[in-house]
Structure 1
Amino acid sequence: MRRRELFPNVTSEKGVSYEGNRGNAVFMFRLREEGEREERRIDGRRGIALILCLVMLTLLIVIAYQFSFSANVDRHLTGNLSSRSRNYFAARGALALVKGYLKKDITNNPIDTLKDCWVEGEYLKSCDLGQAKVSVEVWDAERLLCLNNMSKKSERFYARTRDSLKRLIEILGIESGDNASLYQRICDYIDEDKDGDYEEGAANKPLFLIEDLLSIDGVTARYYKGWTDKFGTTHKGFYETTTEWGSGRININTAPKEVLMAMSSAISETDADNIIAYREENDFTTVQDLTKVEGLSDIFVRDKSLRDFLTTVSTVFIAHIKAESDGRTLKVRAVFRRDPQGIKLIAWKEE
Structure 2
Amino acid sequence: MAEGMAAVRAGGNRPSEKSGHHPARRPRRGVPPRGPPLPRRPGRKRPSIRAKEPGREMTRRRENEKGIALLVTLLILVLIVALVYEIFRIGARSAQTGAYGRDSIRCALLAEAGTGAARIALRQDARDNSFDTLDEIWSRPAPPIELGDGEIRVVVEDEDRKIDLNRIMLSMGNAPDERRLAIFRRLLDTLAIDRAVADAVVDWLDNDDTPRVGGAESAYYLALPYPYRAKNDLFDTIGELRLVRGVTREAYEKLLPFVTAHSSGKVNLNTAPKEVLMSLSAGTDLDEVGAIDAKTADEIIEYRKDHPFTKTDEINNVSPFLRDLNNRTLLFKELADVRSTFFHVRSEGEVAGTIRTVDAVGARLGNEIQWRFWRLE
Same-fold call, TM > 0.5?
yes
SS where residue 261 of structure 1 aligns?
Answer: helix
Amino acid of the structure 2 residue aligned with 1:308: E
Query: Quick check: 1:267 aligned with 2:292?
Result: yes
SS where residue 364 of structure 2 aligns?
Answer: strand
Instruction: State the TM-score, normalized to the length of structure 1.
Output: 0.79
Call closer, same or farther: CA 1:55–1:120 in 2, change over 3 Å: same
Matches within 5 A, 1:101-180: 101-120=121-140, 124-152=142-170, 154=172, 158-174=177-193, 179-180=194-195
Q: What is the aligned partner in structure 1 of residue 18 from structure 2?
A: none
Check conservation: 2:114, 2:348, Cα contact below 8 A: no
Amino acid of the structure 2 residue aligned with 1:279: R
SS where residue 117 of structure 1 aligns?
Answer: coil
Over the residues paired in the alignment, what is the CA RMSD in angstroms? 2.5
Check conservation: 1:214, 1:220, Cα contact below 8 A: yes
Gaps of 5+ in 1: 1-14, 19-25, 227-236
SS where residue 119 of structure 1 aligns?
Answer: coil
Check conservation: 2:360, 2:374, Cα contact below 8 A: yes
Check conservation: 1:150, 1:191, Cα contact below 8 A: no
- Find the aligned partners of 2:248 and 2:299 in 1 and give their Cα distance: 32
| Greater relative contact order (Cα < 8 A, sep 6+) | 2
Call closer, same or farther: CA 1:285–1:50 in 2, change over 3 Å: same
Query: Quick check: 1:215 aligned with 2:243?
Result: yes
Check conservation: 1:152, 1:191, Cα contact below 8 A: no
Query: Quick check: 1:329 aligned with 2:346?
Result: no
Gaps of 5+ in 2: 1-45, 219-228
- Find the aligned partners of 1:16 and 1:43 in 2 and give their Cα distance: 30
Q: CA deviation at 1:331?
A: 2.0
Query: Quick check: 1:311 aligned with 2:331?
Result: no
Check conservation: 1:189, 1:216, Cα contact below 8 A: yes
Matches within 5 A, 1:47-66: 47-66=67-86
Q: CA deviation at 1:285?
A: 0.9
Amino acid of the structure 2 residue aligned with 1:212: E
- Find the aligned partners of 1:73 and 1:129 in 2 and give their Cα distance: 28
- Find the aligned partners of 2:69 and 2:309 in 1 and give their Cα distance: 93
Match of 1:204 among 207, 218, 232: 232
Q: CA deviation at 1:213?
A: 1.3
Call closer, same or farther: CA 1:173–1:125 in 2, change over 3 Å: farther
Check conservation: 2:183, 2:280, Cα contact below 8 A: yes
Call closer, same or farther: CA 1:107–1:51 in 2, change over 3 Å: same
- Find the aligned partners of 1:307 and 1:171 in 2 and give their Cα distance: 24
Q: What is the aligned partner in structure 1 of residue 372 from structure 2?
A: 346
SS where residue 17 of structure 1 aligns?
Answer: coil
Q: CA deviation at 1:163?
A: 1.7
SS where residue 240 of structure 2 aligns?
Answer: helix
Q: What is the aligned partner in structure 1 of residue 102 from structure 2?
A: 82
Check conservation: 2:123, 2:367, Cα contact below 8 A: no
Residue-by-residue CA offset, 1:51-86 (whole Å, 9 max, x unaligned): 333432332233222212211211221221122122
Query: Quick check: 1:287 aligned with 2:312?
Result: yes
Length, aligned pairs only: 309
Check conservation: 2:145, 2:153, Cα contact below 8 A: yes
Amino acid of the structure 2 residue aligned with 1:205: D
Q: CA deviation at 1:303?
A: 4.9
Call closer, same or farther: CA 1:187–1:130 in 2, change over 3 Å: farther
Q: What is the aligned partner in structure 2 of residue 246 from structure 1?
A: 263
| Percent of residue pairs bearing the same amino acid type | 28
Q: Which one has a larger percent helix, Structure 1 or Structure 2?
A: 1
Residue-by-residue CA offset, 1:203-249 (whole Å, 9 max, x unaligned): 0001111111122243233332x3xxxxxxxxxx2221111111111
Call closer, same or farther: CA 1:54–1:112 in 2, change over 3 Å: same
Q: Structure 1 stretches (4+) deviating beyond 6 angstroms? A: none
- Find the aligned partners of 1:84 and 1:350 in 2 and give their Cα distance: 11
Call closer, same or farther: CA 1:322–1:60 in 2, change over 3 Å: same
Most deviating of 272-281 and 286-295: 286-295
Q: What is the aligned partner in structure 1 of residue 10 from structure 2?
A: none
- Find the aligned partners of 2:250 and 2:90 in 1 and give their Cα distance: 42
Q: What is the aligned partner in structure 1 of residue 198 from structure 2?
A: 183
